[in-house]
Amino acid sequence: MHPHRRKRLFNIILVLLFSTSGIGLILYSLNKNLDYFFTPTELKTINIPEDKRIKIGGMVLENSVVREQSKVIFTVTDYKNYIEVVYEGIVPDLFKEGSGVVALGFMQNETFYAQEVLAKHDENYMPPNLNINNDN
């Protein structure tokens, strides 16, 4: 092979190698760091490892909020299934019983330990696609 062409081929291979490995690394870390979003019903059917950070969403069940020292314990429901959530810290302004909430954290023995609790910024609205219907 002509040395010039060989050099070019070498360059092409180098570029392809670098770009694919770079993109591969980025995709790998993306996959590792995704937060999956579940509703209480989905949580009952899927087993989630304790060290996997997930998001759960639903409504805060009426009369379920208990405050213990600086902890807040409440139940999130999609009106079919229920899940207990423990959170240490101040819940956001828009957090209310009977309104929508999204929590980020870990599942441990049927209890969800939240690191972050978010109420939707737009106070009238629920996370979309969380079709909460009471058609038992």
Partner 1 sequence: MIIEISHFLSILATGLFLLVGLISFIATDTKYIANLISRTFSHGFLLLLISFVIYIWLAITDNFSVQYIANHSNTELPVFYKISSIWSAHEGSMFLWIIFIGLWGFIFNINIKNDEVLKPKSIGVISLILVGFLLFLLLTSNPFEIILPIAPLNGADINPVLQDPALAIHPPTLYLGYVGFVIPFACAISFLINGNPDVRWEKLVQKWSVLAWVFLTIGITLGSWWAYYELGWGGYWFWDPVENVALMPWLAATAFLHSLSVSIKSSHLRVWTILLSISVFSLSLFGAFIVRSGIIDSVHSFANDPDRGLYLLMFIGIILIISLSLFILRFSMIRPIGNIKRFSKESFISINNIFFGSLIFSVMLGVTYPLVYEYLFDQKISVGAPFYNAIFIPIVLIASLFLFFSVDSKWSRNLNFNFFRSPIIVSIILSIASVILLIYFFQTNNLTFLISVYVGLLIIFRYCIEIFNSFYFKKFINPFSAIAHLALGLLLLSISFNSLLSTERALSIRLDSIEEYKDLKIYFKDIKVVKNSNHDSIKALFFIENSRGNIVELSPEKRRYRTRGQITTETAIHISPLRDIYITIGDQLDNGNWVVNVQLNYFIRWIWFSGCLMAMAGIVLIFSKRKV
Partner 2 sequence: MKFLFKSTVLLLPLAFIAMFYILLTEEDAYPGTDYKTFDVPKFQLENLENTKLIDNDEIKGSFILNVWASWCITCRVEHPFLMNLKNQGIKIIGLNYKDERSDAIQWLDKYGNPYEITVHDLKGSLALDLGVTGAPETFLVSNGKVVAHYQGEVNDAIWSNVFLPIIKEKGMF
85 binds partner 1 (CB under 8 A): no
Task: Indicate whether 9 belongs to the interface with partner 1 (CB under 8 A).
Answer: no
Q: What distances in angstroms separate CA 39 from CA 21, 50, 83, 90, 103, one per listed residue?
A: 36, 17, 9, 23, 11
CA distance 6 to 55: 52
| Stretch binding partner 2 (CB under 8 A), from 25-33, 47-55, 63-71, 118-126 | 118-126
Beta carbon nearer to partner 1, 95 or 109: 95
Is the CA virtual torsion 51, 55, 59, 64 positive or negative? positive
Nearer to partner 2, 77 or 117 (CB): 77
Tokens of 43: 């949580």
Residues 99-118 that bind partner 1 (CB under 8 A): 104
For residues 76 and 104, give the distance between their C-alpha atoms in angstroms, rounded to a whole number.
12
| Footprint on residues 40-99 left by partner 2 (CB under 8 A) | 59, 98-99
Footprint of partner 1 on this chain (CB under 8 A)?
Answer: 22-23, 26-27, 29-30, 32-37, 53, 55, 67, 69-70, 88-94, 104, 121, 123, 127-129
